[in-house]
Amino acid sequence: MSLVNEAKRSDKRMKSEYAVIVCPKCRKHVQIIDSGVKSTTCQRCGSRLDVRRLKVWCKTPDLNEAVSLRTAILMELDQ
């Protein structure tokens, strides 16, 4: 019984979502971040980004989905 509870609890802790964001400074860098973080740094221009103020393009618990969405957004920005 307690084992099940333990597993459930750690499962909840492990569960995180990925958020896809676009750097508002350079507008070219699409980044996948853990949706739980408050701030991140743009890997392209080095800007400090306040995640709560950013537009989150999508949130998904599936990393593969996040990666393909990132690619799709990148292609859209390129046009």
Which region among 10-18, 28-36, 55-63, 66-74 touches Zn ion (by CB under 5 A)?
A: 28-36
> Residue 36 carries which side chain, given as an amino acid letter?
G
| 8 Å CB contact between 71 and 58 | no
Q: What is the DSSP letter of 23?
A: -
Q: Say how many residues touch Zn ion, by CB under 5 A.
A: 8
**Of 26, 63, 75, 77, the one binding Zn ion by CB under 5 A:** 26
Contact status: 42 vs Zn ion (CB under 5 A) = yes
The Cα–Cα gap between 34 and 39 comes to 10
- Point out which residues bind Zn ion (CB under 5 A): 23, 25-26, 29, 42, 44-45, 47
